[in-house]
Copies of this chain bind each other. A is one copy, B any other.
């Protein structure tokens, strides 16, 4: 007999929250028992999301830890940054397992959070307690954890593409340059001129160059992998698509490696991990090839002329970059197969 875990989703009216609803609807051992929203509490969730008509007929609950505890065993926090830091202590105190999809518990140093997020950081106790849920790298820590901080969308694509090469010493970590691109859903459902259709459509634009709050998160893991302090160059650009991230990464190689050397290295590193697919020599992944799925696909282009390697990594920012990875982490926290409820085929075309 299968355990069924009851889950609550705080921030159900955002794109991350509504994607959790979509994915968990197919999970054999999770039931979503409470959809929570501070802004729209009391309203039917299908009112703002007509695609949920007849699928979820319940009303949005208010953000009340005791109420959530009465309905759920685990809680996903899918809110903008600054909120989870305030909510997590009381949710954990209620004995709930917590998965925080926001940036509030990713950086281990409070000062870094203040510098990059310009907000009040979480208490050090909770930063220490939160396990960074990049499970292909830190999977052992995630197994059995009660409190997981889900990685950011850009860091997920980027770090899965860099960590094996940094750990193996194939590349010089100080030389890394990351050119990342994201679909617009990554910015959330909030309205502003920058996300108006007529401003984005048939357009491609750079933003927050060298200033994005995901930079310290990437550097924290690269530093851990390299065993020395790493700073990096990181660009973010908006693609006129809804879903998808491509991280194109450049680094100087430490020797005369080939594409096949990288392919072998990465296949070994990710052996047994379902959601990372290493592409064959001479091909690179496109964002659509993972759309709607929890895959991260990676390809390589070694250049003997320059002594550099180009690494291309793609994810669906709302799945592997948010809701899917959060469910993968839940699976590991519960001691289940990490692929439970997540064996979706990408939606193509």
Which residues does A use to contact B, with CB under 8 Å? 15, 18, 21-22, 25-26, 49-55, 177, 179, 181, 183-185, 189, 191-193, 195-207, 209-210, 231-233, 235, 237, 239-244, 246, 248, 250, 277, 279, 283-293, 297, 299, 301, 303, 305-306, 308, 310, 312, 314, 343-349
Across-interface contacts of A242 in B (CB, < 8 A) = 197-198, 201-202, 349
User: What are 14 A-B contacts with C-beta separation under 8 Å?
Assistant: A25-B345, A50-B279, A177-B177, A196-B197, A197-B200, A200-B201, A204-B286, A204-B288, A205-B246, A205-B288, A206-B284, A210-B305, A210-B310, A233-B308
* A52 to B, closest residue via Cβ: B345
B205 & A286 in contact (Cβ 8 Å cutoff): yes
A202 to B237, CA, bound (A): 15
Distance in Å: Cβ of A66 to nearest Cβ of chain B: 29
A193 & B189 in contact (Cβ 8 Å cutoff): yes
B349 & A277 in contact (Cβ 8 Å cutoff): no
Q: Which 8 residue pairs are nearest across A and B when measured between Cβ atoms?
A: A205-B286, A209-B301, A203-B288, A179-B179, A51-B289, A51-B346, A210-B303, A198-B349
Distance in Å: Cβ of A143 to nearest Cβ of chain B: 23
Report copies per complex: 4
Distance in Å: Cβ of A9 to nearest Cβ of chain B: 14
Across-interface contacts of A349 in B (CB, < 8 A) = 15, 185, 189, 198-199, 201, 242-243
Across-interface contacts of A18 in B (CB, < 8 A) = 348
A170 to B279, CA, bound (A): 38
A55 to B15, CA, bound (A): 27
B233 & A306 in contact (Cβ 8 Å cutoff): yes
A289 to B46, CA, bound (A): 11
B206 & A15 in contact (Cβ 8 Å cutoff): no
B196 & A55 in contact (Cβ 8 Å cutoff): no
* A285 to B, closest residue via Cβ: B50
* One of B185, B237, B290 near A248 (C-beta < 8 A): B237
* A290 to B, closest residue via Cβ: B51
A21 with B237, Cβ < 8 A, contacts A201-B201, A285-B50 known: no
* One of B52, B183, B201, B206 near A246 (C-beta < 8 A): B206
A233 & B250 in contact (Cβ 8 Å cutoff): yes
